[in-house]
Amino acid sequence: MSFLDISEDTARGTISFVVRVQPRASRDAIAGTMDGALKIRLCAPAVENRANEALIEFLSSVLKTSKSAVRIRSGEQSRSKRVEIFGVTRQQIEELLQTEA
């Protein structure tokens, strides 16, 4: 079983982790973990930054936080991205994986 590698910066109040994006899926969904990354399926295509925007919108909606609290730190042109989220705890991310996957 894979696990999710979560980094927590308590001084800044952020959580960061790697996501693996599958664009052009039939629906937006969390598909479990893959090699330490959270696998997310998105309907949006990987053109003109639409998959990145859809990723930010999806994560903000499932975590019930604002879109400005979700930021892609690295990997904007890749399927594997490091995402940083403000005001969310490690427990919320782990519970998300339990309920959505």
- Token pair recorded at residue 46: 């990987």
- Evaluate whether residue 1 is within a structural domain: no
Report the domain count for the chain: 1
Would residue 18 count as lying in a domain? yes
User: What is the pTM (predicted TM-score) of this model?
Assistant: 0.92
Chain length of the chain: 101
> Tens-of-pLDDT digits for all 101 residues of the chain?
458 889 999 999 999 999 999 999 999 999 989 899 999 999 999 999 999 999 999 999 999 999 999 999 999 999 999 999 999 999 988 887 777 65
Residue 26 belongs to a domain: yes
Buried b (16+ CB within 10 A) or exposed e, 11-28: eeebbbbbbbbebeeeeb
Q: Are 66 and 2 in contact (CB under 8 A)?
A: no
CATH of the domain at 84: 3.30.1200.10
- Does residue 44 belong to any structural domain of this protein? yes
| Domain with 41 in it | 6-100
